[in-house]
Structure 1
Amino acid sequence: MATTQSLDVPGARLRYEVRGTGPLLLVMGSPMAAAHFAPLADALAGDHTVVTHDPRGISGSRVDDPDQDSTPELRADDVAALLDALGAESADVFGSSGGAVTGLALVPRHSGRVRTLVAHEPPLLELLPDALERRVATDDIVETFHREGVAAAWGKFMAVNGVVDPPPQGESAEQDLADSARFFGHELRGTTRYVPDIAALRAAPARVVVGIGADSGGLDTYQTSTALAELLGTSPVEFPGGHGGFLDHPKEFADVLRTVL
């Protein structure tokens, strides 16, 4: 059973959920909201205190300035504030997609707050050999959103990134539309253009593990995850399913995550 709470942070009010007992584990996405991680959180709650949250500007987390971009650094500061609110000096962190990028910003920005970071398929397009072309494609997706709307932007996003499944559904169609608009208008560029500080990640007290989906071979995030692991001098850990494996196989996904932690 999850309890829902809220927290004021600079420029936003975050909604977060706490469930279970045991070592503290933060589970996060971006733009995915807490609801998308509920099955995974439930599967882990028997032996962990699992905290999920809606990233700033997404679902139940409201922002003071709707025109402010959501950057990995801002989201990392929000996670550090969550740790403060929970009275926790440190925690394990699992982040998927944009949430993995948040975690990669959190480790060097708030040193000592993360014990183990599992970064599952971060879309770090700047690490790819054709980064310039990827940047142009991302700009085209954002421009398509402004010109033609959310549906057209998602269509182009899925075609460009090799995604075949539609984005997961949230609380309501209206909320999904608002979250998608936030993603394309104020988050996609900042997340995909983030360049992790490899030297700082390697020197940090946190252990950084790169996660990769068993069925993600055709996705950009497979390539970015492989590139990140190579830069860190590690091998990626395989998780069940694809980019959204935590949704499709929550129990099996939780079992692998437990082993990693």
Structure 2
Amino acid sequence: MTTKTLRLVSVPGATLHCEVSGSGPVLLLISGGGTDAAAYDGIVPQLAEQYTVVTYDPRGNSRSPFTGAPEDEQVDRAAEDALAVLDAVAPGVPAYVFGSSSGAITGMELLVRHPDRVRLLVAHEPPAVELLPDPTDPREFFLEVYDTYRREGRAAADQLFLGGIGIDDDQLPPLAELPAEFREVMERMDANSDVFYEHKLLPFISYRPDVAALVALEDKFVPAVGSESSKVLPAEPILALSERLGWSVVAFPGGHGGYTSDPFEFATLLQRVLAGKVAR
């Protein structure tokens, strides 16, 4: 069993719940959407055999409460939160970074703003739709999700959102059938939906990455998708950017949440990517 050290990291407007496991070079895992550090529980034990693995609950999610009234989370603020976590664990030390979904957007902004603190970023399906040649349809989709949330509540928004990112809600096991510890985690993350839809969805999908800066840092940037979700919306922006710039894209096992569905295979490939054993 992997031993975790818990820390609280104070940042402007929030207190971040942070977990540290293992030893070796620092590897920061950034979760996305309404998830929290537990999203990566399936891959942390394997990664912690080689790395000091750092995970945290993004502000407003789960155990990282706002210290005042909830506010819309801008991507630059999210990147500074990630930096604060790194500073708390290994100040001044460059880290490997993996981010998925909006966590990958946070990772991209962290790389652009603080390239000296990132050894390598693996950006797994960042839904940065402004990278698309024509972002009109995905913009409208996310606006529809937001409007559905405001009109009909989070259950209706969840159904629309999950379908749009390639996750069939009918394939997910009912909470009542899950072991108690997993049910507790799922219920905790599900409770983050209101903060996600109200304060995170639109700011993150409106993000315009600094492409020129990413090109200048391409030796530190690994575009990634899920092998089963490469034709679904979250993967399209990074594929479009990579095709335009002639970059290779690493296909990880599974779909948008492959680190949950295929943890061993996912972690094994991530270890190979971080070690430079995958052609780019």
Q: Give the TM-score, by structure 1 length.
A: 0.93
8 Å Cα contact 1:28/1:95 also seen in 2? yes
Partner secondary structure for residue 241 of structure 1: coil
Q: Does 1:189 align with 2:202?
A: yes
The number of aligned residues is 261
Q: Secondary structure at the match of 1:18?
A: strand
1:133 corresponds to: 137
2:40 equivalent to 1:33: no
Do the aligned partners of residues 254 and 161 (structure 1) sit closer, same or farther apart at CA in structure 2, a change above 3 Å counting? closer
Are 2:121 and 1:106 equivalent residues in the alignment?
no
Q: Which has the higher mean CA deviation after the structures are superposed, 124-133 or 97-106?
A: 124-133
Q: Which runs of 5+ in 1 are unaligned?
A: none
Identify which range, 6-15 or 152-161, moves more after superposition: 152-161
CA apart distance, 1:122: 0.6
Q: Which residue of 2 aligns with 1:244?
A: 257
Pairwise CA distance, 1:74 = 0.9
SS of 1:56's equivalent in the other structure is coil
- CA 1:194–1:40: 2 relative to 1, 3 Å: same
Change (3 A) 1:177 1:56: same
Aligned to 1:68: 71
Unaligned runs of 5+ in 2: 174-181, 275-280
Which amino acid in the other structure matches residue 206 of structure 2? R
Describe the superposition over 1:35-81 as per-residue Cα deviations: whole angstroms up to 9, x where unpaired: 11111111101111100000000010011234311122111001111
Q: Which residue in the other structure is 1:220 paired with?
A: 233
Equivalent residue for 2:9, pick from 4, 7, 10: 7
Structure 1 residue 237: Cα displacement: 0.5
Aligned residue for 1:123? 127
Equivalent residue for 1:160, pick from 156, 161, 164: 164
- Answer whether contact 2:59 2:66 (CA < 8 A) is retained: yes
Contact 1:117–1:206 under 8 Å retained in 2? no
Deviates more, 1:241-250 or 1:176-185: 176-185
Distance in 2 (CA, whole Å) between partners of 1:127 and 1:177 is 29
